[in-house]
Each structure stands twice: as C-alpha cells, then as structure tokens.
Amino acid sequence: DADVTQTPRNRITKTGKRIMLECSQTKGHDRMYWYRQDPGLGLRLIYYSFDVKDINKGEISDGYSVSRQAQAKFSLSLESAIPNQTALYFCATSESGGLGTEAFFGQGTRLTVV
Amino acid sequence: LAKTTQPISMDSYEGQEVNITCSHNNIATNDYITWYQQFPSQGPRFIIQGYKTKVTNEVASLFIPADRKSSTLSLPRVSLSDTAVYYCLVGDMGGATNKLIFGTGTLLAVQP
C-alpha cells in the first residue's frame, strides 16, 4: 500500500460544481502539502499545513480551500470549479524538525473541469 | 527561502554522464540542498540531499562547492529511463519556514 494515497485518481467535473480531493498518509508526518501541476509550469504550491491546527496559503491559493481533519488527512476543495483548474494535483508529506528531510508524494489526481 | 536557478532543459545520450547545475546564491546557513526526480504523471521522488562537499548514493552524486552558492547533480551513465524532470530545492527542510517550493525544474531528455 502506498504511504501517501490520493482519491480519486481521475475526475471529470462540470464548471461550477464543488469537488473535494482527498489525501491520506500512513507515514506519521506532521506536514502535508497540496500542489498543482500544469504542462511546462512545474509544481506550484496551493496550501500547506504543518500540523492539524495550522493551515497556510501557498503560491496559488485563490479558488481553493483545505481542511486538515487529522494528522493523516488533508483535503483540497474547489468550491466552484472552473476550466482553468484542470490540472494534475499532488499531495505530499514531510517530517518537521531537523535540518534535512525529504517529501513523499501521492500518485496524483488528474482533474478535468468541463 | 533561497531562490534557485537551473536550466530549463538538457539533452543527453545513453551511457553519458549528465551534470545538472543549480544556482542558489542566497542559501542560508541552515539550508540543505535536495534534488527530486519526476517522471510524467507521477509525483516527484527524492534522489539525493546534501549540505556541503560531496554526497553519493546508488542513484546519483551531489557536488557542493565550499561557498554553497551552487550545486551539481551528477547522473552516471544515463539510460532512457532517466528521462525526467529534475528539481533542485534549497531550504531548511524540517524547519519552521520551509514550504517546499519546487519551481519548474530541468527536463532531461535521454536519447538512444
């Protein structure tokens, strides 16, 4: 089983619909992240959370919201989806503390807004 | 967070050694340098991390000069399967301010 699991893996939704992408992890990490990836633009940070009570905006948070339901779960919501939110979305986790650590990524969710 | 600059793309042939350099002029004392690899439609995966001098693992080597203002990821004898995007990140990875900003990375294309 994957350490970082994203659901759904693929989703097609209509403009204006609310949609939630879910992420769960079994690594016991405090930190969780949501990214989107568009062709040729690399990974852009949407939101990040350093613990259950901590939520922070990233580089491109407009049109998105998140919920950290538990240490292991971090959900990304699109309140009213629009076509330019069509992208590949990744969730990631990492440990806190220490000077060096690595991030672990989920398999990604391909979202298409029509 | 230290800003990083790396080439947008590189080409190579199978069996060659590939060196990808990343510039990070304002790296801070507590910052580590970390490289990730991403295949199409997959999440990035950690390759190597270092603080200074040289680090080597089964996948790559990381060379960091004394001033730490740049770093070079070295991939020995690349194969077609090494075609991927490579990201250089600089930051205090476990620290209170690190947000794991990835940037656009370097697209390495390996040809037969």
Answer for the pair A109, A20: CB distance below 8 angstroms, yes or no: no
- What is the number of other CB atoms lying within 10 angstroms of the CB of residue A74? 28
- Alpha-carbon span B35 to B102, nearest angstrom: 10
Which chain A residue has the Cα nearest residue B28? Answer: A99
Q: Per residue in A60-84, pLDDT tens?
A: 999 999 999 999 999 999 999 999 9
Residue numbers in B near A104 (CB within 8 A)? 46
Number of H helices, E strands in chain A: 0, 11
Q: CB neighbours of B60 closer than 8 A, spacing ≥ 6?
A: B35, B47, B48, B73, B74, B75, B76
Mean pLDDT by 10 residues, chain B (112 residues): 87 97 91 92 92 93 96 96 95 69 91 96
Mutate to test the interface with A, among B99, B104, B106, B107 (most CBs of A within 10 A): B99
Residue A57 amino acid letter? K
Q: Which of A99, A106, A110 sits opposite B43 (nearest CB)?
A: A106
Q: Do B34 and A97 touch (CB under 8 A)?
A: no
Q: Do B44 and A43 touch (CB under 8 A)?
A: yes
Q: CB neighbours of B59 closer than 8 A, spacing ≥ 6?
A: B47, B48, B75
